Amino acid sequence: MKIAIASDHGGFDLKERLRRHYADLGLIDLGTYDSQSVDYPDYAKKMANEILSGSADLGILICGTGVGISIAANRYHGIRAALIYSAEVAELAKRHNNANVLVFGGRTMPFEDVINYIDTFLRAEYEGGRHQIRLNKIEQTE
Ligand code: RB5
């Protein structure tokens, strides 16, 4: 599975730590590449292009709280960005929502928690069935 990661300046430190932690997975780094102030919608756009073109299967997006970049990412048709705040939510974001972007707050979430959430999501399986009917309804209303 190809996984891309991107952040604004508020998520830069967490992005760098995740990149090092998951070095074996070879995360595709879409920036930002330093802690200079940038605009999170630009990184949501880069991620949407990466996922929707098929260059990556899963994305990880980070801003200060995760809120702004979630809002921005979910404007793109076909992006299902989930702001993850517990292991239970991580598991259900896969089983029920088949999320294709995981979102975290670089200033609000401890690194160890985020690792736990990502690992939990990666172990989970999408259930389809009634959940696919709901995802289809989202696709139709976007
Ligand atoms: C940037 O200062 C901050 O507003 C951004 O990272 C994010 O938290 C927005 O939702």
Residue-range definition of the domain harbouring residue 85: 3-141
Specify the ligand 1 atom closest to the Cα of 65: 8
Query: How many other CB atoms sit within 10 Å of the CB of residue 106?
Result: 25
- Determine contact, residues 79/37, Cβ cutoff 8 Å: no
In a mutational test of the pocket of ligand 1, which residue from 40, 62, 83 has the highest number of ligand atoms less than 8 Å from its CB? 40
DSSP secondary structure code for residue 29 in this structure: E
Residue-by-residue pLDDT tens, the chain, 142 positions: 999 999 999 999 999 999 999 999 999 999 999 999 999 999 999 999 999 999 999 999 999 999 999 999 999 999 999 999 999 999 999 999 999 999 999 999 999 999 999 999 999 999 999 999 999 999 998 6
What CATH code is carried by the domain that includes residue 66? Answer: 3.40.1400.10
Which residue's CA is the closest to the ligand 1 atom numbered 10?
68
Number of domains in the chain: 1
Burial tier of 37 (Cβ tally within 10 Å: 0-12, 13-18, 19+)? exposed
Residues serving a catalytic function are 96
Helix H or strand E encompassing 132: helix 130-141
64 Cβ closer than 6 Å to some ligand 1 atom: yes
